[in-house]
Copies of this chain bind each other. A is one copy, B any other.
Amino acid sequence: MIFSSALIENAVNEFARLPGIGKKTALRLVLHLLKQDPGQVKLFGEVITRMREQIKFCKVCHNVSDQEVCSICSSPSRNKALVCVVENIRDVMAIENTQQFNGVYHVLGGIISPIDGVGPDQLNIYSLVERVQQQGIEEIIMALSPTIEGDTTIYYLSKKLKEFPVKITTIARGIAFGGELEYADEMTLARSISNRLPLESYVQK
């Protein structure tokens, strides 16, 4: 692509580094910014820079945070004995959006995946074991993706935590609400039958 301005070319190249944004979309975004007030664009640049420079990761659960300890871990109304183990901070947001979970989190920062070169040492597993050891945690919910990597990670964690008196659970697998039976994969459908629930727990939802 030929740009008549180096300023625009640089801005387009920077936008095109973002995931899912190609040169054409980047150009569209840059031309949009060109029509905005310079102060507004400056604010955009500042907000992004400040976000990256000032963001902290909670030293308890490794979630993103503005302080040393995140707002979830420091909230007195959350149940500290119930820990939900998730892969990344996006999962924390997804679960928080349900407004149904009252415990705290532990962000692993990934899942065990030898193909991608991610082993247990790259993940926040040691600090989880430490939390279980020191903070009187009663239950750990494994909220990881139902993939081979997720199951491997669950298996690894459960072995690591075997020696401690903590209950380990996983989130329920089954047919999604609004999902059609005929389009469900066989494994999910088979599991949803073998793990069937009494009607009362369905009506309660």
Listed in ascending order, the chain A residues whose CB lies under 8 Å from chain B are: 1-8, 10-11, 14, 17-21, 25, 27-34, 36, 38, 41-55, 63-66, 70-72, 88-90, 92-93, 96-97, 99
- A5 lies within 8 A of B48 (CB): no
Main SS at interface, chain A:
helix
Which residues of B lie under 8 Å from residue A29 when comparing CB positions?
18-19, 21
Q: Assembly of this chain: how many copies?
A: 2
- A14 lies within 8 A of B47 (CB): yes
- A42 lies within 8 A of B49 (CB): yes
Given contacts A5-B66, A19-B29, A38-B53, contact A11 B93 (CB under 8 A): no
- B66 lies within 8 A of A7 (CB): yes
- A70 lies within 8 A of B36 (CB): no
Name the one of B41, B49, B93 contacting A2, with C-beta atoms under 8 angstroms: B93
Given contacts A19-B28, A27-B93, A44-B14, contact A34 B5 (CB under 8 A): no
A118 to chain B minimum Cβ distance, whole angstroms, is 14
Name the one of B4, B18, B25, B88 contacting A65, with C-beta atoms under 8 angstroms: B4
Name the one of B32, B65, B97 contacting A1, with C-beta atoms under 8 angstroms: B97
- A48 lies within 8 A of B45 (CB): yes
Which residues of B lie under 8 Å from residue A5 when comparing CB positions?
55, 64-66, 70
Which residues of B lie under 8 Å from residue A25 when comparing CB positions?
20
- B7 lies within 8 A of A32 (CB): no
A137 to chain B minimum Cβ distance, whole angstroms, is 20
A101 to chain B minimum Cβ distance, whole angstroms, is 11
Name the one of B3, B20, B41, B64 contacting A8, with C-beta atoms under 8 angstroms: B64
